Amino acid sequence: MEYWFAGALTVAAHHPYTSLDGGVAMSDSPVEHERVERRMASADLEISASEAHGMLCGLLCGNADPRELWFGELFQTTEDADLLAQECRQTLGVLYSQVLEVLKGTDVVLMPLLPEDSRPVTTRAEAACDWCRGFLYGLGLAGISEDTPLSNDAREALLDISEITRMDLSALVDNEEDEDSVMHVTEHVWVAATLVYHDLYAENP
């Protein structure tokens, strides 16, 4: 895969609230991947935390306030009275608010919600694939299609994100080479998604 982004860019952190200067955009205590994953598993949601966050970011590329649509996709088979589902909704509601807050700032970056760097390479790579899959699905829900006006760079970014969903996870092992590969993929994901967001925002501010 060819990485078209500037080599000087580095991953600030694996949470979606970081600006390009490395500062936390909204809160010193962002909702972390592990917390979201735990809540979603308790509510018996079959989607991963990374895929759910990717879906939200994709929705936000074409919908200013997609909360109900996002929740509707996530909680299709849960009962409103389910206490674990209610707790999950609360956690996701905080996540939603934090993502919206960062989009109000300058130098917006769509940083994927991924596991910590201490987790195995395959776990983080799978989460990156999940995030990309969710992002593309969210774009579709938001009405973004092949007919939507996009720059050539944004179209290339979407093709790369689609390619990442087909990554061969079985070939990964926990060594320095694959560690570097996953780091570069993660960088590529957030730069590509951010480019798509800004391209679509320029069309529909």
Mean pLDDT of the chain: 84
* pLDDT given for residue 161 in this prediction: 97
Average pLDDT over residues 67-88: 90
Structure tokens at 118: 């201490």
Set out the domains of the chain in order of their start, with CATH numbers.
Answer: 33-203 (1.20.120.740)
Average pLDDT over residues 29-53: 93
Closest to 108 (Cα-Cα) out of 25, 8, 5: 25
Closest to 190 (Cα-Cα) out of 60, 70, 23, 18: 18
Task: Provide the b/e sequence for 102-118 (b: ≥16 CB within 10 Å).
Answer: bbeeeebbbbbbbbeee
* pLDDT given for residue 192 in this prediction: 96
> What does the alpha-carbon distance between residue 8 and residue 79 come to, in Å, rounded to a whole number?
47
**Reduced DSSP (H G I as helix, E B as strand, rest coil) percent helix, strand, coil of the chain, to 5:** 55, 0, 40
pLDDT for 73-83, tens place per residue?
Answer: 999 887 777 89
